[in-house]
Amino acid sequence: MSPQWAQQQGFGVRVEWGRAGAAAIGAGAACVVVIDVLSFTTSVSIATAAGTVVYPYRWRDESARAFAAEHRAALAVGRREAGPDAPWSLSPAALRRAPVTERLVLPSPNGSAIATTVRDTPVVAACLRNVAAVAAWLVDQDGWGGVDRPIAVVPAGEQWPGTETVRPAIEDWLGAGALVTALSERGIGALSPEARAAASTFRGTPAMAELITDSASGRELAAIGFADDVALAVDLDADHTVPVLLDGAFTDIRSGTR
């Protein structure tokens, strides 16, 4: 169990990084909101907007194929592995082009890994594209965001190459700040210092799209030919999805798709 000082107790909206952060601030929370802008939660938003149910999965290996077969789902492959026989990948742009599938397994070492390790707490997938819709839905839930039923906001971050060490990613911090700002504007108070800091960063970043495009994560994707993924990810409030993890899969709770 995480030490008490790390749990941000006494606050209704809490923010902390990665799987360890989710464990620290998610204990006793009303829900955990995972934010992985480039690109897991952006891909979840785009896929669920098209009516697809998305199963998160931590590993991209043979076990993922078995997991997809078990759930009668298509399997998303690596960005550069996608092709006519496997058009689905973690790339949001590729998902927009691919045929709509009823079920999709989406492996990811960051956002997906966090979502699959949270236990006994509702999990929501948020990104810049759906932040207003997610905030509105959270506010509609009875008592969520109060000190007794806090909302745990978890920017996923990235991993340094060849390690499992979290690299704080500016796009996820801005996504967390956008959500905290939207919650605050809708009357949710008692923000932790970390939540206030994230919101201040978002409000103080007028050229957000340009900043994310030129960030380490944006440059990484552009270097391998996926700049379109960044352009889709920074399109603020383009989607109206609220993907909630139900029976192991993210479903747009507002559409009722199963």
**Is 203 contained in some domain?**
yes
Distance separating alpha carbons of residues 47 and 241, to the nearest angstrom: 10
Domain that holds residue 65: 10-251
Residue 238 pLDDT exceeds 90: yes
What mean pLDDT comes out for the span 33-60?
97
**Is 72 contained in some domain?**
yes
**Is 93 contained in some domain?**
yes
Distance separating alpha carbons of residues 154 and 121, to the nearest angstrom: 13
With cut-offs at 50, 70 and 90, classify the pLDDT of residue 59.
confident
Residue 256 is predicted with a pLDDT of 52
- DSSP for 222-249, written as a single string: HHTT-HHHHHHHT-TT-----EEEETTE
Q: What pLDDT, in 10s, does the model give residues 7-26?
A: 999 999 999 999 999 999 99
**Is 1 contained in some domain?**
no
How many structural domains compose the chain? 1
**Is 81 contained in some domain?**
yes
With contact defined as beta carbons under 8 Å apart, do 235 and 39 qualify? Answer: no
**Is 231 contained in some domain?**
yes
**Is 256 contained in some domain?**
no
Q: What pLDDT, in 10s, does the model give residues 197-235?
A: 999 999 999 999 999 999 999 999 999 999 999 999 999
**CATH code of the domain covering residue 170:** 3.90.1560.10
Residue 111 pLDDT exceeds 70: yes
Residue type, 180: V
For the beta sheet containing 103-107, the strands, ordered from the edge strand earlier in sequence to the opposite edge, are: 13-15, 151-155, 31-35, 123-126, 243-246, 249-252, 53-57, 103-107, 74-75
Q: What 3-state class would DSSP assign to 76?
A: coil
Mean pLDDT, the chain, integer: 95
What mean pLDDT comes out for the span 81-85?
88
With cut-offs at 50, 70 and 90, classify the pLDDT of residue 257.
very low
Residue 258 is predicted with a pLDDT of 45
**Is 74 contained in some domain?**
yes
Q: How far is CA 60 from CA 76, 79, 96, in A?
A: 9, 12, 21
Residue 85 is predicted with a pLDDT of 87
Percent of the chain with pLDDT over 70: 98
Residue 176 pLDDT exceeds 80: yes
What mean pLDDT comes out for the span 142-164?
95
